[in-house]
Structure 1
Amino acid sequence: MPADFLSHPFTPEETAEDHRRLRQQAQAFTSEHIAPLTAPMEARGPHTDHTVRAALAETGWLGVLLCNGWGGLALGHVAKTVILQVLAFTSPAAAAILQASVLGAAPIAEFGSEEMQRAWLPEIAAGRCWPTIAVTEPGRGSHVLGIETTARRSGRQYILEGEKVLVGNAALGDVHCVVARTGKAGKANSLTAFLVEKGTLGLDIVPAPVNGLHGFSVDTVRLTRVCVPATHVIGHVGDGLAVAQHASVVYGRLNLAAVALGTHQRLLQETAQRVTTRPRYRGNLSDLDTVRHRIADMQHHLMTAELAAYHAAHLLDQGVPCDPWLHHAKLTAHRAGAASCEHAKQLWGGHAARLGSTVEQFRRDFDLIHAPAGPDDLQLIRLAEHILGPHRPHWSAHHTT
């Protein structure tokens, strides 16, 4: 029962037809290749799943935003949102795995030198290399300028020391974009981004299990005297803040909004099916007005979130700087989904807490969409700044140029 968001007036008809076909293809793929993996993946509990990576690698979706010259699909952000929503409908964890490395590719694609792009982007587009981005630190959260991980120049290399937490696909990744301090604390140009390859001496992945999205891991990356060639600087020395913020705002917020949409959509379908088949006196639960109102409210929340996400994706594809819409998409997707989770809890009653039930899993998965790329309060701060100041440059402006 997916909503037909592709008929929205901001989508040109010829493009909409391409997106309809893409959605059908994505649905067929997830039904055949991802759906059989979901029960075993969930049953294993917190872990890093490699079977989903192998399945997704064949689709080319990791390169959905990369240009054809590097072997990518160059389909744009609306198409990416379609893919992630469809994937999350079947498996929020699988969608989280894909989006985390689409995010990880952004620094190389947007800031990397031609040599760096030539070396890595074809491998990413082919699904052979899965990148990550490592920015968040213990006790620092969204305060990027407070980063304490250091990078010290030593001849033709840098020596990195520090620890990153909540790194999506950390144990799955082949190359990590690590943002570290190279200048005076608090200065906008005090940070630099580096590519650190898997297996580099001193790089350790420390498991840090979370309570949802089984198969998707957000582990700790520990760097102990990690030596990185100077050629592995992403962009220029001092570009680290731009790399981190650009990836988070332009890619991360919309990616997570898309994962939220698919999760929300599945929760609504499961709940609607339950109330229409659950006996109640001489009819079903769905005969009760209070139940119908809750289902209608869930549908209202989903439609609102879809409009927000697809409008933001459309603006990006049109080359329009749109940071507030990206903040809005993430905020709306989470708030709408959280509200529907509460409705589902009421309609499922005590069964909503039963371990292993679909509604329990999807409610738990949805919780983990809140914090990455900034919790709701951070989105509200940014939206307030857009109206009241201090006015910030749009990170999406760099992307659109």
Structure 2
Amino acid sequence: MDRDFYTEDHELYRQTVREFLIREVIPHRERWDEERWIDRTAFTAAAKAGIYALQIPEQYGGAGELDYRYRMVVCEEVSRAHALSFALTLALQDDLVLHYLLDLTTEEQQQRWLPGFATGEIIGALAMTEPGAGSDLQGIRTEARQDGEDWILHGQKTFISSGIMADVVIVAARTDPAGGTGAFTLFVVERDMPGFERGRKLAKIGLPGQDTAELFFDNVRVPSANVLGGVGRGLQNLMSHLPRERLGISAGAIALSRAIFEVTREYCFTRTAFGKPIGDNQHVRFELAEMATELDIVEAYVDKSVRAYNAGTLTPVDAAKGKWYTSELQKRVVDRCLQLHGGYGYMSEYPVGRAYTDTRVQTIYAGTTEIMKEIIGRDLSRKPLG
């Protein structure tokens, strides 16, 4: 299917991304996964090459480029390079942390944090999830109480992507014990603030190179200058940024699904069994045909969502639709592709084997499939009938 989505400038940028990946990522991706750590120099090199943080304004060292299609190009090329731990870290920076720092900061805060982000010297993390609070943000127990011009932050977070590496962590905390939608505030906790401790680097079943951690805040003194987006507006600020986060999941899911499908298609028409390529068997061709059709259809929805985001019209409900469906599609496609590879698919040296374990979390983070369906269902229940 023809895809009238990218311009010549996007394709020129694609070549830049490919050259960067060949030079700075592909030679190291296996080592990163084995060591469960990505070299920080990879992010300074990525920022220098313009692989992420393009939307940072020029006065802070960025390109001021807001077109999300450039982000899509990166998703596609990193997926083709089979560097998914690196891909997730880029997504965390571009689709989560940086989006908060661009939208919710004061000019003074932008001057402090954006230049370092633009050079890749500052890595960020978003800390919402707690041992007893995941999708239910109202269950957050980490609290902050005001003490003069400062806030005293106390509590813990878990499953925090880039929690070990992060220099700045956006922390959601309860600031009003009475509860309600105005009970939460976002704070930026910086590396080496007294009382801020990193816990275990958690061992995951996939994405091993991308560090995930427990974080502890033992009466951390946070200055009022590090309040992000206003006191009592934490919940609203979190909710308003979910469409970008979920669009990022959709972009990564369709890119990875397409990349693994193409690897599998080539395998099916080069691998022989009983004297002929396995792709000459009708069942295999039907499997490929079904996946190709689903990918084209879902890709059209993601393209539409990107255009809506660029126009400022992507709704939380439409982003939720894309997030759950693309992540579930990714699970199905990767699983079927592994089956078509046979025993080779179960080997970690093959991209499809690594993608199989890396894929499973897609339907969990940024809101589970069930939560996405609930968001959509509630919207449907509010619409007039007839």
Common fold by TM > 0.5:
yes
Contact kept? 1:82, 1:258, Cα under 8 Å: no
SS at match of 2:7: helix
Q: Is it true that 1:60 corresponds to 2:50 in the alignment?
A: yes
In the TM superposition, residue 39 of structure 1 has moved relative to its aligned partner by 2.2
Bigger drift between 354-363 and 328-337 goes to: 354-363
Contact kept? 2:122, 2:168, Cα under 8 Å: yes
Contact kept? 1:276, 1:285, Cα under 8 Å: yes
Return the match for 1:176 from 153, 169, 174.
169
Q: Distance in 2 between matches of 1:115 and 1:54?
A: 23
Query: What code does the residue aligned with 1:64 have?
Result: L
Q: How does 1:339-350 map to 2 (within 5 A)?
A: 339-350=332-343
Q: Which runs of 5+ in 2 are unaligned?
A: none
Q: Which runs of 5+ in 1 are unaligned?
A: 9-14, 392-401
Aligned counterpart, 1:17: 8
Q: Distance in 1 between matches of 2:79 and 2:325?
A: 17
Q: Is it true that 1:365 corresponds to 2:355 in the alignment?
A: no
Aligned counterpart, 2:221: 227
SS at match of 1:220: strand
In the TM superposition, residue 106 of structure 1 has moved relative to its aligned partner by 1.9
Q: Is it true that 1:335 corresponds to 2:328 in the alignment?
A: yes
Higher RCO, Cα 8 Å, sep 6+: 1
Residues 276 and 43 of structure 1, relative CA distance in 2, 3 Å threshold: farther
In the TM superposition, residue 113 of structure 1 has moved relative to its aligned partner by 1.3
SS at match of 2:145: strand
Q: TM-score, normalised by structure 1?
A: 0.89
Q: Is it true that 1:144 corresponds to 2:134 in the alignment?
A: no
Query: What code does the residue aligned with 1:216 have?
Result: Q
Aligned counterpart, 1:11: none
Q: Is it true that 1:281 corresponds to 2:274 in the alignment?
A: yes
Q: Is it true that 1:79 corresponds to 2:70 in the alignment?
A: yes
Residues 28 and 300 of structure 1, relative CA distance in 2, 3 Å threshold: farther
Query: What code does the residue aligned with 2:132 have?
Result: G
In the TM superposition, residue 89 of structure 1 has moved relative to its aligned partner by 2.4
Aligned counterpart, 1:244: 238
In the TM superposition, residue 251 of structure 1 has moved relative to its aligned partner by 2.4
SS at match of 1:61: coil
In the TM superposition, residue 353 of structure 1 has moved relative to its aligned partner by 2.5
Residues 217 and 305 of structure 1, relative CA distance in 2, 3 Å threshold: farther
Q: Is it true that 1:30 corresponds to 2:24 in the alignment?
A: no
In the TM superposition, residue 31 of structure 1 has moved relative to its aligned partner by 2.3
Q: Distance in 1 between matches of 2:33 and 2:349?
A: 8
**Percent same amino acid at aligned positions?**
25
Contact kept? 1:308, 1:332, Cα under 8 Å: no
Aligned counterpart, 1:118: 111
Return the match for 1:94 from 82, 86, 102.
86
In the TM superposition, residue 321 of structure 1 has moved relative to its aligned partner by 4.2
Q: How does 1:197-236 map to 2 (within 5 A)?
A: 197-206=190-199, 207-236=201-230
Q: Distance in 2 between matches of 1:305 and 1:68?
A: 34
Aligned counterpart, 1:395: none
Return the match for 2:310 from 297, 304, 317.
317
Q: Is it true that 1:131 corresponds to 2:121 in the alignment?
A: no
Contact kept? 1:92, 1:262, Cα under 8 Å: no
Q: TM-score, normalised by structure 2?
A: 0.92
Contact kept? 1:176, 1:195, Cα under 8 Å: yes
In the TM superposition, residue 140 of structure 1 has moved relative to its aligned partner by 1.2
Q: Distance in 2 between matches of 1:321 and 1:359?
A: 32
In the TM superposition, residue 49 of structure 1 has moved relative to its aligned partner by 4.3
Aligned length: 380
Residues 135 and 185 of structure 1, relative CA distance in 2, 3 Å threshold: farther
Contact kept? 2:128, 2:134, Cα under 8 Å: no
Q: CA RMSD in A?
A: 2.0
Q: Distance in 2 between matches of 1:120 and 1:49?
A: 21
Q: Distance in 1 between matches of 2:237 and 2:317?
A: 18
Q: Distance in 2 between matches of 1:366 and 1:162?
A: 30
Contact kept? 2:161, 2:212, Cα under 8 Å: yes
Q: Distance in 2 between matches of 1:51 and 1:292?
A: 43
1:259-291 deviation digits (Å, cap 9, x = unpaired) = 222321221122112211211222110100110
Contact kept? 1:200, 1:226, Cα under 8 Å: yes
Q: Is it true that 1:196 corresponds to 2:194 in the alignment?
A: no
Return the match for 2:97 from 88, 104, 129.
104
Contact kept? 1:30, 1:87, Cα under 8 Å: yes
1:68-118 deviation digits (Å, cap 9, x = unpaired) = 333222232222122122223211111101111221122221111121112
Q: Distance in 1 between matches of 2:129 and 2:326?
A: 22
Q: Distance in 1 between matches of 2:140 and 2:244?
A: 21
In the TM superposition, residue 4 of structure 1 has moved relative to its aligned partner by 5.9
SS at match of 2:186: strand
Contact kept? 1:150, 1:181, Cα under 8 Å: yes
1:307-350 deviation digits (Å, cap 9, x = unpaired) = 22222121111122422221122122212111112211321223
Q: Is it true that 1:272 corresponds to 2:265 in the alignment?
A: yes
In the TM superposition, residue 185 of structure 1 has moved relative to its aligned partner by 5.0
Contact kept? 2:142, 2:174, Cα under 8 Å: yes
Query: What code does the residue aligned with 2:86 have?
Result: A
Q: Distance in 2 between matches of 1:172 and 1:205?
A: 10
Q: Distance in 2 between matches of 1:66 and 1:308?
A: 27
